[in-house]
Amino acid sequence: MIIGGGHNGLTCAAYLARAGMKVVVLERRDVLGGATVTEEIYPGFKFSVASYVVSLLRPEIIRELELVRHGLQVLPVDGTLTPTGNEVGDYLWRVDDHAVTVREIRRHSKADAEAYEEYALLMAEMARFVRPLLGAQPDWRDLARRFAALPEPQQTTLIQLLTMSSADFVSQWFENEPLRATLSASGIIGTFLSPRTPGSAYVLLHHYMGEVDGEYRAWGLPVGGTGAISAAIAAAAREAGAELRTSAPVARIETRNGRATGVVLESGEEISARLVVSNADVRTTLGKLLEPGTLSAEDSAAVWRYRFRGSSGKVNMALSGLPTFSCLPAGTTDHFRGMVSISPSIDYLERAYDDAVDGRFSRAPYIDMGFPSVIDPSVAPPGQHVMACFVQYAPYELAEGTWDDQREAFGDTVVATIAQYAPDLPSLILHRQVLTPLDIERIFGLTEGNIFQGELLLEQLFNGRPVPGAGYATPVRDLWLCGSSTHPGGAISGAPGHNAAVEILRARRGGAAA
């Protein structure tokens, strides 16, 4: 039995069912997918409501579950535009064509253009070191052996990535401020860290490891929205024999003599199982769904020490047309096939963080926005568009007022910030959905609104995720975790679900019904 029909829960279900186990998935919402979901929140417009791009989805999952046969099609996202002002030419535009990007960087700094080659090669080497670790729960001894085999310059770089701030790390190579800011912004996504906080450099690497159709460091949009990923995995699970139930919220995990024996739904229905796997985070699973006293005091304390600290929000908009960015020559449209990053300087990002530390949403936030309908016209009516805005910082706990009171003010701030660079945006908005960290927690069950089911901090990585030495198994026999609070963490990867299934099958050797 699997609690939660997010993409990791569905992945785990598919692998267990393929191995001959009887699997039932219980999803509390009326739609499968968790945060990887497509919903029509305004007539004719399909939104990837929470997760909105894909890059880290494991190639072996796509291949082994035959997700393409089940309807998955991913289209490439081409590059990132960083506006820096309102005069034509005030921008940095990096695209997937490496040579074009180098020429663009040279427009700002000849030294940075030369350094970009070295930086790209080095990050590729670091990604090649870490990427194999995504496919299983690593042991610190394995990490030490792999680390010892690295050439000394790469050892130094890996230590830097694990300990330095993203701003300091990228500043070793580059002098152009928009380039440094846009690169270091990848180190703050989903964390309550500033670009100058030590440890944020690893988050940058986490986002550097993706690939789409074998293309390294690529990002993509699934046709039909990110819900198409969940739909394809769900189809694979059903084909293998899994039963997928929606509108089935779990109230409690039942235990007897130190082992999980089933669940009780909020409806009162009791369901017995020989194995319970939870796609919910570690705190929800072990701290809320278990009866108090089930865990030892030591284990319980470890669970409640695990850090979430949501720091981001999402604003989805239906538009009557595409906005015009003042920094671009008239008629320019290629940037709509990529992302637009409001990250003009590291100081800008730092000020946004300072607001959050003071307990308020950023008055000038970091925004990573895209226009999925340009790449995939199926998600909006002809001539109209969907716009997705990932926003940071938005602290889960506000110093004054509540998120229910501040929600629309937060949305207004996001629109006003973008309008500084695209003045016609407000006139194009047909509908706006604003998701605060509290909304993300309420709707998707992500504790404190953290999009990664817990921060990607050094002490919460690899064998320390979710707690040292725990991995996918829990202190309760026959109760397992398969969500993003386990290794390797968040994003649409499917890796936690896959890895948990591998560990379960290894432990049970093809055991009985789940």
Instruction: Convert the pLDDT of each residue in 212-229 to its tens digit.
Output: 544 545 689 999 999 999
Q: Cβ distance 50 to 291 under 8 Å?
A: no
Is the model more confident about 417 or about 137? 417
Q: Are strands 74-77 and 45-48 parallel, antiparallel or unpaired?
A: unpaired
Give the percent of the chain with pLDDT over 90: 82
Q: Is residue 90 part of a domain?
A: no
State how far the Cα of 129 lies from the Cα of 161, in Å rounded to an integer: 12
| Helix 346-357 with 177-185: angle, nearest 10 deg | 40
User: Is residue 127 very low, low, confident or very high in pLDDT (cuts 50, 70, 90)?
Assistant: confident
What would the mean pLDDT of 136-153 be, rounded to a whole number? 83
Q: Cβ distance 53 to 77 under 8 Å?
A: yes
In DSSP terms, 211 is beta-bridged to 216
**pLDDT tens profile 374-426:** 999 999 999 999 999 999 999 999 999 999 999 999 999 999 999 999 999 99
Q: Is residue 441 part of a domain?
A: no
Residues 6+ apart with CB under 8 A from 268: none
pLDDT of residue 145: 87
**pLDDT tens profile 430-455:** 999 999 999 999 999 999 999 999 99
What strand order describes the sheet that includes 429-435? 91-94, 80-83, 339-342, 366-370, 385-392, 312-319, 429-435
Closest by Cα among 18, 476, 475, 22 to 273: 22
Secondary structure of residue 126 in the 3-state scheme: helix
Is the model more confident about 17 or about 491? 17
Number of domains in the chain: 1
User: Is residue 131 very low, low, confident or very high in pLDDT (cuts 50, 70, 90)?
Assistant: confident
In angstroms, how far is CA 227 from the centroid of its own chain?
14
Q: Is residue 137 part of a domain?
A: no
User: Is residue 509 very low, low, confident or very high in pLDDT (cuts 50, 70, 90)?
Assistant: confident
> What are the backbone angles phi and psi of residue 396, rounded to the nearest 5°?
-60, -40
Q: Is residue 233 part of a domain?
A: yes
Which of 54-58, 136-140, 220-224 is predicted least confidently?
136-140
Structure tokens at 505: 């099958």
Give the percent of the chain with pLDDT over 70: 97
Residues 6+ apart with CB under 8 A from 22: 241, 513, 514
Ramachandran category for residue 25: left, alpha or beta (phi over 0 → left; psi -120 to 50 → alpha): beta
State how far the Cα of 278 lies from the Cα of 247, in Å rounded to an integer: 16
Closest by Cα among 465, 459, 458, 457 to 495: 465
Q: Is residue 226 part of a domain?
A: yes
| Helix 495-508 with 7-18: angle, nearest 10 deg | 30
Q: Which domain holds residue 469?
A: 2-75+222-307+457-508
Q: Cβ distance 289 to 280 under 8 Å?
A: yes
What would the mean pLDDT of 181-188 be, rounded to a whole number? 93
Question: Which is it for the CA torsion 453, 458, 464, 468, positive or negative?
Answer: negative
pLDDT of residue 142: 80
pLDDT of residue 512: 44
Looking at the predicted structure, is the pLDDT value of residue 327 above 80?
Answer: yes
Which CATH number characterizes residue 291's domain?
3.50.50.60
Which of 66-80, 112-126, 334-348 is predicted least confidently?
112-126
Q: Cβ distance 56 to 36 under 8 Å?
A: no
pLDDT of residue 513: 44
Helical (H) or strand (E) element with 115? helix 110-130
What would the mean pLDDT of 161-179 be, rounded to a whole number? 95
Q: Is residue 485 part of a domain?
A: yes
Looking at the predicted structure, is the pLDDT value of residue 457 above 90?
Answer: no
- Three-point CA angle 471, 276, 501, nearest 5°: 50
Other beta carbons less than 10 A from residue 148's beta carbon = 8
pLDDT of residue 217: 53
Which of 180-189, 475-484, 502-511 is predicted least confidently?
502-511
State how far the Cα of 319 lies from the Cα of 384, in Å rounded to an integer: 6
Tokens 């000394």 sit at which residue? 152
**pLDDT tens profile 253-294:** 999 999 999 999 999 999 999 999 999 999 999 999 999 999
pLDDT of residue 202: 87
Looking at the predicted structure, is the pLDDT value of residue 179 above 50?
Answer: yes
Helical (H) or strand (E) element with 39? strand 38-42
Other beta carbons less than 10 A from residue 207's beta carbon = 18
Across the chain, mean pLDDT equals: 93
Q: Is residue 491 part of a domain?
A: yes
Q: Is residue 298 part of a domain?
A: yes
Considering the entire predicted model, what is its pTM? 0.95
